[in-house]
Amino acid sequence: MNEAALRTIAENPTLFKIVTPVDVDRFEALLVNHPNRPFVESVIYGLRHGFWPCSNADPDKYPSTRDFPERDHSPADLEFLKQQCEEEECCGRFSAPFGTPNGPLQPGMFCVPVHAVPKPNSDKFRMVVDHSAGDFSLNSMIDRSDVHVDLDNVQDLAHNLLLRQRLRGKPSRWLFKSDVSMAYRRLPMHPLWQVKQVITVDGIRRIDRCNNFGGRASGMLWCAFMSLVLWIAVHEKGIDGLLAYIDDCFSDDPSEHLIYYARYDDFLPPKQVALLLLWDEILLPHDKPKQVFGSVCTIIGLDVDLPRMLISLSEERRITLVTAVRDFVLNAPARCRRLVEWQRILGHMNWGLNVTPLLRPALQSGYDKTAGRTIRNAPIYVNAAVTRDFLWFAHVFERFDGVHIITSREWDSSQADLILNCDASLSGGLAFWSPHHARGFISEHPPAPVDTETIFWYEALTVVSALDWACSLPQKPNRLAIFSDSLNTVQMFNSLRARPHYNDLLLYACRTLLLHRIDLRVFHIAGELNVVADALSRNLLHVASQYQPALRIHLFTPPRVTLGAEEEC
């Protein structure tokens, strides 16, 4: 326990307050039926007493008090920061000034640097509070693995749209997105964390009492609160299919008619009105300009077109992503990038997967490089594998039209245009066959990469070979089902995730699928049912012919699984 900080808090009660607009009593009453009581109680406690950001740092490894020299600001930046501090103070989120200008901090206090940055596409600024700056930063006290959050995305929305279209027999009428104003700032921090959030602008010191965008745990805290808001919306207010990405809530609405929302003096989709009424009930602030709806709606930076069932990325955003990826690998100083830069570019690329999910394997080498790294500014070498994969990602994304057609991934082999069966054997080779064409294909196995589980790599290579053959047909399948008796192979192709050497196979397969616009599913088949492919893989051609007398058997050469930005897609 930080005795110095506790003493400072006790001696300065006006500096440290719990500030939130949320009607905590009403919020708690609406959660009375929630099944996870410990989780509910922890969030309610945070709203009443302040949230703790999962900091488990050893206090003996940190100084009791830490000041940070104020950064140099331009006159315009300084004027903005001073005005912003006054506004935050008026709202109660900042304390009144304390101490003398540039005077010493009280025991237990940490000063956090701030600066101003321009808002995108605007002449306005926003205040950035840097919780990661310097030694003994606040974010260094928080383990990144403790604050990970999986957010809803546009692909989740696409899944819901297809599901509801199937259930209702027709598509929804509206899309909508609603935004909580100043989301993170609506949550109070615990006084023992507030004491570490001293803001200094023009020598004037104030306490930041609330959750801040710069904190490593800030997103997790907000999502914990917002997940309960969504639970109320779905289970108590009947707003089905509601999704959330940070402070944006979005969904579809089948209603043909809009209804009146008095606060905005406007007509909105019924589900959106129900959500806003819930926010009003718990006093969660929102502003009219951030509440949008239509048959076409921009959600998480992507345009979702409901009538045409399309997700698209604007030309400007597509070029911005491509340029950022190329700059990351080609202009890296001494071929190194800081961990925080890796995290930003991987996040940007991951966002792009909403319109090109097949490019996911290109990110794997980047995740491998950053796995287990925790020091934010530590340099990490941009190796050849990352350079190749990222440039390939940029190459494909640049030539991609930015449009993703919302189609169901939930189909089975009976709905496939073509079915192929695969197998591999260490004693024989690789084999696949087409029941429809009564044709089988066999090959000796090429040398496998080092550090691979050989049979697994051959099983996966056989799937890639079968895909290659399907793409050579005059009538290419729209839906291709490939059966394999290797569970690892099935998982790899359906999740689009693999270890490094196997990832090369995925990259090759994804390039092929994008080029030919084929929807691939890999299904598992028990070994005892995969008899023809098994016999072919063991060079038992007479056995295969006994099972399929009309089978014609051919030799094939597996594709060279190499990729590069020079390959067209």
Residues 520 and 395 in one domain: no
Domain extent at residue 239: 154-181+221-311
CB 247 within 8 A of CB 183: yes
Transcribe 456-520 into DSSP letters. Answer: HHHHHHHHHHHHHHHHTSSS--SEEEEEES-HHHHHHHHHT---HHHHHHHHHHHHHHHHHT-EE
More confident residue, 149 or 120: 149
Kindly state whether residue 269 falls inside one of the protein's structural domains: yes
Residues 118 and 137 in one domain: yes
Whether 523 shows a pLDDT value over 90: the answer reads: yes
Transcribe 133-155 into DSSP letters. Answer: -STT-SGGGB-GGGS--PPP-HH
| Listed residues 389, 405, 421: the one ending a domain | 405
Kindly state whether residue 326 falls inside one of the protein's structural domains: yes
| Listed residues 405, 427, 452: the one ending a domain | 405
Q: Is 177 left (phi over 0), alpha (psi -120 to 50) or beta?
A: beta
Residues 456 and 546 in one domain: yes
Tell me the C-alpha distance between 128 and 38, whole Å: 34
Give the CATH number for residue 171: 3.30.70
Give the CATH number for residue 536: 3.30.420.10
Whether 196 shows a pLDDT value over 70: the answer reads: yes
More confident residue, 259 or 167: 259
Residue 65 has φ and ψ, to the nearest 5°, of -135, 140
User: Residue 524 CB: number of other CB atoms within 10 A?
Assistant: 14
Q: Which two tokens stand for residue 538?
A: 């063991």
Domain count, the chain: 4
pLDDT value for 72: 87
Kindly state whether residue 562 falls inside one of the protein's structural domains: no
Is 385 exposed, middle or buried, given 0-12, 13-18 or 19+ CB atoms closer than 10 A?
Answer: middle
Residues 239 and 158 in one domain: yes
Query: Which residues lie across from 266 on neighbouring strands?
Result: 261
Q: Which two tokens stand for residue 318?
A: 């597509």
Tell me the C-alpha distance between 177 and 292, whole Å: 5
Is 224 exposed, middle or buried, given 0-12, 13-18 or 19+ CB atoms closer than 10 A?
Answer: middle
For residue range 468-522, list pLDDT tens digits in order.
999 999 999 999 999 999 999 999 998 888 877 788 899 899 989 988 889 999 9
pTM assigned to the model: 0.82
Whether 566 shows a pLDDT value over 60: the answer reads: no
Residues 163 and 277 in one domain: yes
Residues 255 and 239 in one domain: yes
Residue 354 has φ and ψ, to the nearest 5°, of -60, -30
Kindly state whether residue 564 falls inside one of the protein's structural domains: no
H/E segment holding residue 129: strand 125-129
Residues 489 and 445 in one domain: yes
Whether 548 shows a pLDDT value over 50: the answer reads: yes
Transcribe 351-379 into DSSP letters. Answer: HHTTT-GGGGGGGHHHHHHHTT---TT-E
Whether 59 shows a pLDDT value over 70: the answer reads: yes
CB 311 within 8 A of CB 302: yes
Kindly state whether residue 560 falls inside one of the protein's structural domains: no
Residues 307 and 422 in one domain: no
Residues 235 and 205 in one domain: no
Tell me the C-alpha distance between 481 and 486, whole Å: 15
Kindly state whether residue 225 falls inside one of the protein's structural domains: yes
Residues 533 and 388 in one domain: no
Residues 277 and 376 in one domain: no
Residues 395 and 419 in one domain: no
Give the CATH number for residue 140: 3.10.10.10
Whether 328 shows a pLDDT value over 90: the answer reads: yes
The helix/strand/coil state of 560 is coil
| Listed residues 293, 311, 329: the one ending a domain | 311
Kindly state whether residue 325 falls inside one of the protein's structural domains: yes
For residue range 413-431, list pLDDT tens digits in order.
999 999 999 999 999 999 9
